[in-house]
């Protein structure tokens, strides 16, 4: 997290600074703080927003490892979670009792998100017990809310006009799917209908990657995601399985009982099993759960309460749809956690001057 | 690098602090600054030394990823390089003209090292152009000198009494080796004699790991490295090939001409090809080069000048033996580089208080 007041506003100057600070010209990022993984070679530049109703703007940067360049077109839900805590901790928003609301605009995409940050007792928390799947470490609870996520790409929550339908994939029997656009365009396969469980291990799911890729390619044109003449790619729609809850063991070795969650979800990230679930995919699954006939609702069998609990390989993610009007959620909230690890001044070779981060 | 004044002196309290700061209880170190690799999950705690003639003491910690514990018995040449720059940059030693000498004692092992830090113009440098193999990034030049490294483990530079000899390994023809103890115990195989080049790629060397492991096991008892009844292990002696210089391409894709260096070296780290060479192994190779008949001298064929230049998979490492008395180097210097990446205050969950690093 960088404060905009500490770094250049000019995009190319900022790019140079980030590449130098992260050591990203070098494939091992030895000469910087990037950590040499895509997950850690990210940055958000945060500033007070001039937009009415928005507290802070943030520009998300995916710093290319070894490329010496920055990708500016995407968003990152985990970064948004961090931005909310950062804005509270650095005094960029007024602390309001036990929960502090931070309205954030991602300036890459224009998306507006809300973070509800645990500020118990009206003070900034540096530590907390809220966990997220994939790590046993606790952090400060941040409820991350997507506003009006339905139809962001295609204009419709269900771009085909149906909440579930049969999809012909290759020469095989038709597969029952829901094609959803909320947070991101996603095609969800009814796992039981397809002879799976939706609770497959990542190793087991790997064998189904070619098939799920074919599902994605079959769904893309029906969802209106292809320009005329364009071949289906591997980024959209996101693809995965949904099934009923069953007892399973997470990749961290923790047992999860069937009653601990409402629906099993196994997603791909590009063409590999996702270790948990992307936040935008979680939004899509929850939004699909609003329609009684969707593959999500059939898998959950009416178990879901206020929060829909998704069983992912790394653990359970809870998602809440609220302010639902005509079947469309105006707000979808995912429970997340964040923590300030360190305040640092980075020595950046190109300029010779230390920078705050 | 931690300043001792900022962290507990009690070893178990320090261990708890480092594990918490690095997030090391978790296998992905998500909740800390460890970076989830053995190379980055290291720490040095630096203090002014009470020992006459020593400027700073440093305690080296290898923080176990996912184990929640710290290994305290080893040393780390790269950390020593960093300690030298840190001591100069943080005002722990007087800056003395263009080169500032820092005498450091590793309190894990008692080893005393000297760092000669580039302080051109009598000021601390934050950036520099000195490179080390494995990265294209430049740093501040630090000459790292090992004092009296010969015989540190066995009492003798050549523990068998011979600078080179035939070693019978399994049922094959005897192999020509030098068994050396300087910096660390090392067995070096004459690559040409063994039908190799000494300039093998890491992939090619991988096929020779079982053989080099057998060489290590055959050498260990002759070097006096085994207690009675003890089986040879895979840590000592370190094992590798030495051969004449030939043109090759580094793992970073840079061409190296035969005239750019003096001897080809390919080492194992445990039972895998080392990506470059460990500093203590570099010391052993250079010390072996002082004996005219060693496999190093035969490979170098009298090419070496003041500095012996070792061709490693990642690039060339220069080592200098000086103050040589009766064939033993009193000083062995390796040219290294270091850079201050950041000054940080780490928020540590266990204590709730920020710590400086």
Q: Which of B137, B345, B347 is the closest to A31 by Cβ?
A: B137
Classify residue A304 by burial, with Cβ atoms within 10 Å: 0-12, 13-18, 19+.
buried
For residue B68, the chain A residues in CB contact (below 8 A) are none
Residues in chain A, how many? 357
B129 touches chain A (CB under 8 A): no
**Domain contains A142:** no
Q: To the nearest whole angstrom, how far is the Cα of B31 from the nearest Cα of chain A?
A: 6
Residue B288 CA to residue B160 CA, distance in Å, equals 13
Residue A297 CA to residue A288 CA, distance in Å, equals 8
Mean pLDDT of A279-298: 96
Give the model's pLDDT for residue B63.
Answer: 94
Token pair in block for residue A246: 């069953």
Mean pLDDT of A342-352: 83
In a mutagenesis test of the B interface, which of A17, A22, A30, A275 is the best target, namely the one with the most B β-carbons within 10 Å? A30
Give the model's pLDDT for residue A354.
Answer: 52
Nearest Cα residue in chain B from A37: B35
Give the model's pLDDT for residue A258.
Answer: 97
B162, B200, B205, B206: which is closest to B181 by C-alpha? B162
Residue A357 has pLDDT above 70, yes or no: no
User: Could you tell me if B204 and B298 lie in one domain?
Assistant: yes
Q: For residue A242, what is the domain's CATH number?
A: 3.10.310.10
A121, A103, A120: which is closest to A112 by C-alpha? A103
Q: Residue A33 and residue B341: Cβ atoms within 8 Å?
A: yes
User: Could you tell me if A78 and A199 lie in one domain?
Assistant: no
Q: Residue A30 and residue B347: Cβ atoms within 8 Å?
A: no
A126 touches chain B (CB under 8 A): yes
Give the model's pLDDT for residue B143.
Answer: 97
Q: Which of A30, A135, A343 is the closest to B31 by Cβ?
A: A135
Q: Residue B137 and residue A23: Cβ atoms within 8 Å?
A: yes
Backbone angles phi, psi at B117, to 5 degrees: -95, 135
Give the model's pLDDT for residue A219.
Answer: 97
Q: Residue B342 and residue A340: Cβ atoms within 8 Å?
A: no
**Domain contains B159:** no
Q: List the beta bridge partners of residue A100.
A: A117
A2, A12, A77: which is closest to A44 by C-alpha? A2
A5 touches chain B (CB under 8 A): no
Residue B284 CA to residue B187 CA, distance in Å, equals 9
Q: Model confidence at A352, in pLDDT bands (50, 70, 90)?
A: very low
Give the model's pLDDT for residue B154.
Answer: 93
Long-range Cβ pairs for the range B218-221 (8 Å, 24+):
B218/B167, B218/B168, B218/B169, B218/B170, B219/B167, B219/B177, B219/B179, B219/B187
A35 touches chain B (CB under 8 A): yes
Q: How many CB pairs under 8 A join A and B?
A: 88
User: Could you tell me if B172 and B320 lie in one domain?
Assistant: yes
Q: Residue A32 and residue B352: Cβ atoms within 8 Å?
A: no
Residue A354 CA to residue B9 CA, distance in Å, equals 30
In a mutagenesis test of the B interface, which of A2, A137, A315, A339 is the best target, namely the one with the most B β-carbons within 10 Å? A137
In a mutagenesis test of the B interface, which of A126, A275, A341 is the best target, namely the one with the most B β-carbons within 10 Å? A341
Residue A11 has pLDDT above 60, yes or no: yes
B255 touches chain A (CB under 8 A): no
**Domain contains B142:** no
Q: Residue A347 and residue B354: Cβ atoms within 8 Å?
A: no
Mean pLDDT of A247-267: 95
Segment holding B80, helix H or strand E: helix B77-89
B311 touches chain A (CB under 8 A): no
Average pLDDT for chain A: 93
Give the model's pLDDT for residue A329.
Answer: 96
Residue B72 CA to residue B92 CA, distance in Å, equals 24
A23 touches chain B (CB under 8 A): yes
A253 touches chain B (CB under 8 A): no
Asked if the bond preceding B237 is cis, omega within 30° of 0, the reply is yes
B344 touches chain A (CB under 8 A): yes
Residue A345 CA to residue B86 CA, distance in Å, equals 15
Question: How do strand A175-182 and strand A184-190 relate by DSSP bridges?
Answer: antiparallel
Residue B197 has pLDDT above 70, yes or no: yes
Q: Which of B32, B137, B352 is the closest to A341 by Cβ?
A: B32
Residue B331 · residue B283 · CB < 8 Å: no
Residue B339 · residue B140 · CB < 8 Å: yes
User: Could you tell me if A35 and A96 lie in one domain?
Assistant: yes
B349 touches chain A (CB under 8 A): yes
Residues 138-167 of chain B with CB under 8 A from chain A are 138-139
User: Could you tell me if B230 and B282 lie in one domain?
Assistant: yes
Over the stretch A19-72, which tens digit does the pLDDT of each residue have?
999 999 988 888 999 998 888 999 999 999 999 999 999 999 999 998 889 999
Alpha carbon distances (Å) from B283 to A207, A219, B262, B329 = 49, 62, 15, 10
How many CB atoms are located within 10 Å of the residue B117 CB?
A: 28
Residue B60 has pLDDT above 80, yes or no: yes
User: Could you tell me if A174 and A308 lie in one domain?
Assistant: yes
DSSP string, B268-310: EETTEE-SS--HHHHHHHHHHTTSTTSHHHHHHTT---SEEEE
Give the model's pLDDT for residue B355.
Answer: 55
Token pair in block for residue B247: 């043109």
Chain position carrying tokens 């079959």: A218
Residue B352 has pLDDT above 50, yes or no: no
User: Could you tell me if B175 and B251 lie in one domain?
Assistant: yes
**Domain contains A156:** no
A31 touches chain B (CB under 8 A): yes
User: Could you tell me if B112 and B206 lie in one domain?
Assistant: no
Range of the domain at B217: 165-337
| Residues 6+ away with beta carbon under 8 Å from A87 | A46, A55, A56, A93, A102, A104, A115
Classify residue A202 by burial, with Cβ atoms within 10 Å: 0-12, 13-18, 19+.
middle
For residue B134, the chain A residues in CB contact (below 8 A) are 28, 30
Residue A247 has pLDDT above 90, yes or no: yes
| Residues 6+ away with beta carbon under 8 Å from A118 | A98, A99, A125, A128, A130, A140, A141, A142
Q: Residue A346 and residue B342: Cβ atoms within 8 Å?
A: yes
Mean pLDDT of A129-146: 90
Over the stretch B230-278, which tens digit does the pLDDT of each residue have?
888 888 899 999 999 999 999 988 999 999 999 999 999 888 999 999 9
**Three-state SS string across A249-312, please?**
ECCCCCEECHHHCCEEEEEEECCEECCCCCHHHHHHHHHHCCCCCCHHHHHHCCCCCCEEEEEE
Over the stretch B93-145, which tens digit does the pLDDT of each residue have?
999 999 999 999 999 988 899 999 999 999 999 999 998 887 888 899 999 99
For residue A137, the chain B residues in CB contact (below 8 A) are 23, 25-26, 30-32
**Domain contains A328:** no
Over the stretch A153-204, which tens digit does the pLDDT of each residue have?
899 999 999 999 999 998 778 999 999 999 999 999 999 999 999 999 999 9
Over the stretch A83-113, which tens digit does the pLDDT of each residue have?
999 999 999 999 999 999 999 999 998 889 9
Give the model's pLDDT for residue B356.
Answer: 59
A179 touches chain B (CB under 8 A): no
Mean pLDDT of B212-226: 95
B35 touches chain A (CB under 8 A): yes
Angle at A137 between CA B31 and CA B13, to 5 degrees: 70
Rounded to a whole number of angstroms, the distance between the first and last alpha carbons of chain B is: 6
Residue A355 has pLDDT above 80, yes or no: no
Residue B81 CA to residue B76 CA, distance in Å, equals 9
Alpha carbon distances (Å) from B84 to A97, B77, B87, B92, B104 = 48, 11, 5, 10, 7
Residue B311 CA to residue A223 CA, distance in Å, equals 57
Q: Which of A134, A136, A345 is the closest to B342 by Cβ?
A: A345
Q: To the nearest whole angstrom, how far is the Cα of B287 from the nearest Cα of chain A?
A: 29
User: Could you tell me if A87 and A218 lie in one domain?
Assistant: no
Segment holding A215, helix H or strand E: helix A209-222
Q: To the nearest whole angstrom, how far is the Cα of B335 from the nearest Cα of chain A?
A: 17
Segment holding B17, helix H or strand E: helix B11-22
Residue A271 has pLDDT above 90, yes or no: no
B327 touches chain A (CB under 8 A): no
Residues 85-104 of chain A with CB under 8 A from chain B are none
Mean pLDDT of B295-314: 92
Quote ipTM for the complex. Answer: 0.82
**Domain contains A103:** yes
How many structural domains comprise chain A?
2
Residues in chain B, how many? 357
Question: How do strand B165-167 and strand B140-147 relate by DSSP bridges?
Answer: unpaired
User: Could you tell me if A273 and A351 lie in one domain?
Assistant: no
- For the ranges A345-354, B35-44, B184-193, which has the lowest average pLDDT? A345-354
Instruction: Walk across the sheet containing B342-347 and list its strands.
Output: A354-356, A342-347, B342-347, B354-356
Chain position carrying tokens 């000494």: B198
Residue A93 · residue A84 · CB < 8 Å: no
**Domain contains A235:** yes
Give the model's pLDDT for residue B170.
Answer: 82
Distance of CA B219 to the CA centre of its chain: 21
**Domain contains A141:** no
Residue A213 has pLDDT above 90, yes or no: yes
Distance of CA A225 to the CA centre of its chain: 20
A260 touches chain B (CB under 8 A): no
Nearest Cα residue in chain B from A349: B127
Q: To the nearest whole angstrom, how far is the Cα of A92 from the nearest Cα of chain B?
A: 20
User: Could you tell me if A64 and A117 lie in one domain?
Assistant: yes
User: Could you tell me if A317 and A247 lie in one domain?
Assistant: yes
For residue B135, the chain A residues in CB contact (below 8 A) are 26, 28, 30-31
Q: List the beta bridge partners of residue A175.
A: A167
């Amino acid at each position: 997290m960088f404060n905009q007041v500490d770094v250049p506003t000019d995009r190319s100057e900022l790019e140079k600074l980030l590449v130098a600070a992260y050591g990203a010209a070098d494939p091992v990022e030895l000469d910087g703080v990037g950590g040499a993984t895509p997950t850690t070679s990210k940055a958000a530049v945060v500033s007070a927003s001039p937009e009415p109703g928005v507290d802070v703007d943030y520009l998300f940067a995916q710093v290319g490892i070894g490329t010496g360049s920055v990708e500016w077109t995407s968003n990152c839900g985990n970064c948004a979670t961090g931005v909310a805590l950062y804005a509270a901790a650095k005094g960029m928003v007024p602390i309001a009792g036990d929960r502090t609301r931070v309205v954030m605009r991602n300036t890459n995409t224009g998306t507006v998100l809300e973070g509800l940050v645990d500020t118990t007792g009206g003070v900034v928390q540096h530590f907390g017990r809220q966990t997220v799947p994939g790590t046993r470490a606790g952090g400060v609870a941040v409820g991350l809310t997507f506003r009006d996520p339905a139809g962001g790409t295609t204009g419709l929550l269900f771009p085909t006009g149906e909440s579930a339908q049969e999809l012909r994939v290759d020469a095989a029997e038709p597969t029952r799917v829901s094609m959803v656009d909320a947070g991101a365009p996603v095609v969800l396969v009814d796992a039981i209908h397809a002879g799976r469980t939706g609770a497959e291990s990542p190793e087991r799911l790997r064998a189904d990657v070619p098939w799920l890729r074919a599902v994605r390619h079959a769904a893309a044109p029906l969802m209106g995601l292809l320009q005329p003449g364009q071949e289906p790619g591997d980024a959209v729609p996101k693809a995965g399985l949904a099934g009923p809850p069953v007892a399973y063991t997470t990749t961290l070795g923790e047992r999860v009982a069937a009653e601990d969650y409402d629906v099993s979800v196994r997603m791909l990230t590009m063409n590999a099993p996702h270790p948990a679930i992307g936040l935008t995919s979680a939004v899509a699954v929850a939004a699909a759960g609003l329609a009684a006939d969707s593959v999500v609702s059939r898998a959950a069998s009416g178990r879901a309460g206020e929060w829909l609990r998704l069983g992912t390989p790394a653990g359970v993610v809870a998602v809440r749809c609220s302010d639902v009007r005509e079947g469309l959620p105006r707000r979808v909230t995912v429970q997340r956690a964040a923590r300030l690890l360190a305040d640092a001044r980075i020595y950046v070779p190109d300029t010779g001057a230390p920078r705050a981060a």
